[in-house]
Structure 1
Amino acid sequence: MSFPVIWTVLIDIVAWAFFHVIISVFCLNLPRAFFLKDSVWFKIFVWEKSGELWQRLFLVKKWKERLIDGTLILKKGYGKKKLHGTSISDLKVFAAETKRAELTHWLSIVPAPLFFIWNPLWAGWVMVLYAWMFNLPFIIVQRYNRGRIDAITLRTNKTGVG
């Protein structure tokens, strides 16, 4: 199937907006309890060094504040630009919300192959590249933040302070 370039670009923009909103709303409606549980899907691995790997490889601290928090756009959800408190329960909620954001961004990559249906082959690959390039920074920041929070809560649980 082939459309004029302007129509293809407009369809791509509308399709991405649709997918981003639908996936975000879906994830926002998942209960927080789902994200409070320890799950293999969101495990911070030893090789991530409590998130420091992401700082070393990508200098996350220098650019993470420039990313847009989706809660500002949707006017719903848990803002992750700053901590909402420093108690263990506050940190666990923040970590749970990083899992929600990470899941949202992983799922936002999934629709990319659909763009091959109406795009020329080269543009389909551009859409796949867009999906990865747009979402990976958000995924990296969530894993970086959660790794740091997990290290703090683990230390606090071991020492009994907090």
Structure 2
Amino acid sequence: MLEYAALYAAIWICFHFGSGYLAHRLPQRILSALPLVNDTYAWERNGKAYEWIGVRSWKDRLPEAGAFYPEGFSKRRLQGRDAAYLEQFVLETSRAECSHWLTWGLSLTFFAWNPWSIGVVMLIYGAIVNIPFILIQRYNRCRLTRTLRILDRQIRRSHPNVQIPDSE
């Protein structure tokens, strides 16, 4: 039994690091085209749904591995307030969310070589481990997008004669 636990732990570690690496290497044009990690939904209510479930109170207690890979992007703290940095941060929340969806999706592979009960346990484990991170990325993206809209309005008000391309 202990051998299986060690094997499953090793597989999950490979899934996490492999998904993270794949998402890290994913070109921006492909990442930006993924609807699951880029669309916003009415039920999110601009991030209010995530506040209702308390994401703000526990999100900083979980690890953040955005800078794990070379040229990675840490999402632990804001490092700037300009629009270009915030737009990059939004993209990186999509990248992190994509990584966690992929990791969770890989839990389905356990059904291919295990009894269905083990597959179910691994699917549940994948949900427990990845959903909190998915929620954090979606919450942060809602907040950042709202901030970018505010910045855009401020620029348009202070420079009414300057043509600013829409960022959406």
Q: Partner of 2:8 in structure 1?
A: 12
Following superposition, the deviation at residue 125 of structure 1 comes to 1.4
Query: What is the DSSP-based 3-state SS (H/G/I as helix, E as strand, rest coil) of the residue aligned with 2:19?
Result: helix
Note the residue ranges of structure 2 that are not aligned, 5 or more in a row.
Answer: 159-168
User: After the TM superposition, which residues 114-133 of structure 1 pair with which residues of structure 2 at under 5 Å, given as runs?
Assistant: 114-133=109-128
Which of structures 1 and 2 has the larger relative contact order (alpha carbons within 8 angstroms, sep 6+)?
Answer: 1
CA distance in 1, matches of 2:66, 2:144: 20
C-alpha contact 1:102 1:142 (8 A) present in aligned 2 = yes
Pick closer, same or farther for the CA change 1:66–1:17 going to 2, 3 Å: same
C-alpha contact 1:80 1:94 (8 A) present in aligned 2 = yes
1:88 aligns with 2:83: yes
TM superposition score normalised by structure 2: 0.83
Following superposition, the deviation at residue 33 of structure 1 comes to 4.9
Identical pairs, percent: 29
2:6 maps to a residue whose letter is L
Q: Partner of 1:47 in structure 2?
A: 43
TM superposition score normalised by structure 1: 0.86
CA-based RMSD: 2.1
Q: How many residues align?
A: 156
C-alpha contact 1:69 1:81 (8 A) present in aligned 2 = yes
C-alpha contact 1:12 1:115 (8 A) present in aligned 2 = no
